[in-house]
Amino acid sequence: QVSAELKPLTPEDIDKIKTISDRESLNIISPKLVGPAKINGQPALLVGMDTESEFKMKSWFSFHELVGANPGGVETKPYAVKLADTELILGFETAQGLGLSAGDAVSVNGQPYQLTGILNKSGGDEDRLIFANLSSVQSLLGYEGSYSMIEVSGFCNNCPIEDMTSQ
């Protein structure tokens, strides 16, 4: 068993990021909380995030299924989907492994949720994740106002990443 004690990040850390000297190169700041959960009794990794910032940052994400979309013709960009506190998006492998489809009712840590969408298979870690509204996950996992990570993207291909992260 591996264990580590991590210091949670807070909104103040986002404020600090916005003050770095290379702040004009910042494009998207995407805080998230990641933690273990059970979906319909099965273990999974739950990611709380702001849909718009997270999915704009990960522009390669697309939907396999989405509530209200035409089957086989899903063209809605993930960042355009706003998740309510009781809605989820699943990675492709998680949905397949659990036999779930968009529109299904599910339980996460004993709380009811609606499966709003399933992402297309990407070959990455996101295929095995559960995505939900950040505030919902913070409440569900007992970490209100905290993040486990803050991802940042820049406007440029040649941004001084090492300098930016050290700031």
Q: Report how far residue 41's alpha carbon sits from residue 38's, in angstroms, rounded to the nearest whole number.
A: 5
What is the per-residue pLDDT across 70-116, written as a single tens digit (0 to 9) for each? 555 555 666 677 889 999 999 999 999 999 999 999 999 999 999 99
Averaged confidence pLDDT in the chain = 86
Q: In this prediction, what percent of the chain has a pLDDT beyond 90?
A: 54
Q: What is the mean pLDDT of residues 42-52?
A: 92
pLDDT of residue 119: 93
The pLDDT value given to residue 74: 53
Question: Distance between CA 13 and CA 15 in Å, rounded?
Answer: 5
* Structural element, H or E, at residue 17: helix 11-17
pLDDT grade, residue 17 (50/70/90)?
confident
